[in-house]
Amino acid sequence: MYKIGVIGDKQSVLGFKAVGLDVFDCSTREEAENTIKSVADDDYAIIYITDNLYVEIKDTIYEYNEKRLPAIIPIPGMKGTTGIGLQNIKKSVEKAVGADILFNND
């Protein structure tokens, strides 16, 4: 059976534990890279990661983009969002449709 995990700083991810998700507390780039690699190899179908860590280890995350699983999804942390999630959606829509059809909020 597949699992769902959440990676990020303790304040941002602790609440996910209350709803039954596996939580991995990481505060540095090295911790996040090691955790994403071990979690991705351990039957996790979905991995949520705070977007500040997502930006720091995006090269590692991009290695998993061509694989079916896991889906690695950025989520806002306690400090707010960097906008990486919306950027990824826009890129996917543009790739699928051939043009940016989403509203530009810049």
Mind giving me the DSSP string for 76-91? -BTTB--SHHHHHHHH
CA distances from 93 to 2, 7, 27, 77, 81 (A): 27, 26, 32, 24, 20
* Per-residue pLDDT tens digits for 51-72: 999 999 999 998 898 888 999 9
Structure pTM? Answer: 0.80
44 in helix, strand or coil?
A: strand
- Residue 33 binned pLDDT confidence (cut-offs 50, 70, 90): very high
Mean pLDDT of the chain: 86
Query: What is the pLDDT confidence band of residue 15, given thresholds at 50, 70 and 90?
Result: very high
> What does the domain layout of the chain look like in residue ranges?
3-80
Mention the CATH class of domain 3-80.
alpha beta
Distances (CA, A) of 51 to 1, 21, 71, 75, 100: 27, 18, 14, 5, 22
